[in-house]
């Protein structure tokens, strides 16, 4: 089986060396938890042009539309059917059993890595369950709807919109620089800087996706198929 073969190969490649690992995750890892991806059929932007809901100018022009878009997503994330899947759990296992640091950098704004028990998770595109003050920049946890009347009326979703800088750049650079293995799971590789992280790690890299992507050629190896199915097998092989 592909995932076992690639896991065994990475094990051999690393030998007795157990380097820090960096894992980049995208919408595909949460697809099997019931959250839509961005660019697939029926993806999140279907029915909404991205610039109508995810940019500072959209928020200036029509804040109610932007608030409602994220309120719907927040309610969906908190619905009873959405829970971490076997891929999130496999990464938590890798974090707890690998002897060196394992950093998860996620483009996802959901909290499924944390619900699976992971720590050391960097949310480079923000978090759906947080809001940010428009003036002070204060960030607080928020599980309810948010709109122009929330608290003092000066709060926005804590989400990185198009044209805005990603979060935690220093922590991301430091993790990439010290890593000796890079795993990339469920991302289309179309949004930078995340799509370029594979070039910043000195060591082998593996892409997990149901199909080839814009950046597949940059990886040492690939496992084609569902992350929830294949990642647990790969992690088993790597931990042997
Ligand atoms: P996309 O929706 O662009 O890509 C999801 C990827 O996951 C695709 O390549 C799918 O083939 C793959 N996929 C789907 N189901 C899968 C499964 N079960 N197992 C493995 N792979 C699967 O989402 P991202 O690449 O994460 O930014 O999008 C990156 C950023 O674009 C998002 O964070 C968002 C968006 O604009 C912001 O909101 C700032």
Per-residue pLDDT tens digits for 223-233: 999 999 999 99
Q: Find the 234 Cα to ligand 1 centroid distance in Å.
A: 20
Q: Find the 65 Cα to ligand 1 centroid distance in Å.
A: 23
147 φ, ψ (degrees, to nearest 5): -150, -165
* Six-digit token string for 69: 């878009």
- Would the pLDDT of 154 be above 70? yes
CA–CA dist 231, 229 (Å, integer): 6
Options 88, 113, 123, 125, the catalytic residue: 125
pLDDT tens for 57-108 read 999 999 999 999 999 999 999 999 999 999 999 999 999 999 999 999 999 9
% helix, strand, coil for the chain, step of 5 = 40, 20, 45
Which residue out of 45, 105, 107, 185 has the highest number of ligand 1 atoms within 8 Å of its CB and is therefore the one to mutate?
107
Ligand 1, atom 25, residue with closest C-alpha: 187
Of 41-55, 116-130, 169-183, the range with the lowest mean pLDDT is 41-55
CA dihedral 44, 50, 55, 61 (to 10 degrees): -110
Average pLDDT, the chain: 94
Q: Would you give the end-to-end CA distance of the chain in angstroms? A: 16
Q: Find the 76 Cα to ligand 1 centroid distance in Å.
A: 17
The ligand 1 atom at the shortest distance from the C-alpha of residue 38 is: 2
CA dihedral 191, 108, 142, 32 (to 10 degrees): 140
CB 26 within 8 A of CB 39: no
Q: What is the mean pLDDT of residues 129-137?
A: 98
CB atoms within 10 A of CB 44: 19
Entry field: residues in the chain: 240
pLDDT computed for residue 126 by the predictor: 98
pLDDT tens for 9-53 read 999 998 888 999 999 999 999 999 999 887 766 555 557 777 778
Which residue out of 38, 51, 193 has the highest number of ligand 1 atoms within 8 Å of its CB and is therefore the one to mutate?
38
125 is catalytic: yes
Sign of CA dihedral 231, 82, 38, 106: negative
- Would the pLDDT of 1 be above 80? no
Ligand 1, atom 6, residue with closest C-alpha: 187
Q: Which residues does a 6 A CB cutoff place in the pocket of ligand 1?
A: 26-28, 31-32, 37-40, 43, 54, 107, 125, 160, 186-188, 190-191, 208-211, 213, 226-227
CB 195 within 8 A of CB 51: no
């Amino acid at each position: 089986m592909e995932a076992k073969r690639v896991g065994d190969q990475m094990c051999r490649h690393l030998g007795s060396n157990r380097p820090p690992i960096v894992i980049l995750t995208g919408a595909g890892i949460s697809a099997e938890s019931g959250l839509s991806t961005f660019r697939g059929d029926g993806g999140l932007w279907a029915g909404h042009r991205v610039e109508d809901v995810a940019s500072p100018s959209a928020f200036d022009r029509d804040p109610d539309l932007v608030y409602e878009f994220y309120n719907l997503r927040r309610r969906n994330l908190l619905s009873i059917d959405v829970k971490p899947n076997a891929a999130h759990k496999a990464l938590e296992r890798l974090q707890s059993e690998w002897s060196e640091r394992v950093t998860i950098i996620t483009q996802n704004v959901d909290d499924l890595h944390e619900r699976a028990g992971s720590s050391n998770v960097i949310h480079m595109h923000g978090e759906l369950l947080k809001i940010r003050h428009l003036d002070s920049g204060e960030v607080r946890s928020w599980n309810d709807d948010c709109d122009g009347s929330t608290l003092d009326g000066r709060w926005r979703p804590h989400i990185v919109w198009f044209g805005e800088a990603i979060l935690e750049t220093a922590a991301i650079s430091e993790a990439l620089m010290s890593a000796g293995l890079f795993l990339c799971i469920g991302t289309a590789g179309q949004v930078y800087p995340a799509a370029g992280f594979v070039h910043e790690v000195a060591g082998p890299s593996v892409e997990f996706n149901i199909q080839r992507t814009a950046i597949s050629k940059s990886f040492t190896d690939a496992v084609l198929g569902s992350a929830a199915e294949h990642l647990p097998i790969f992690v088993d092989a790597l931990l042997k």
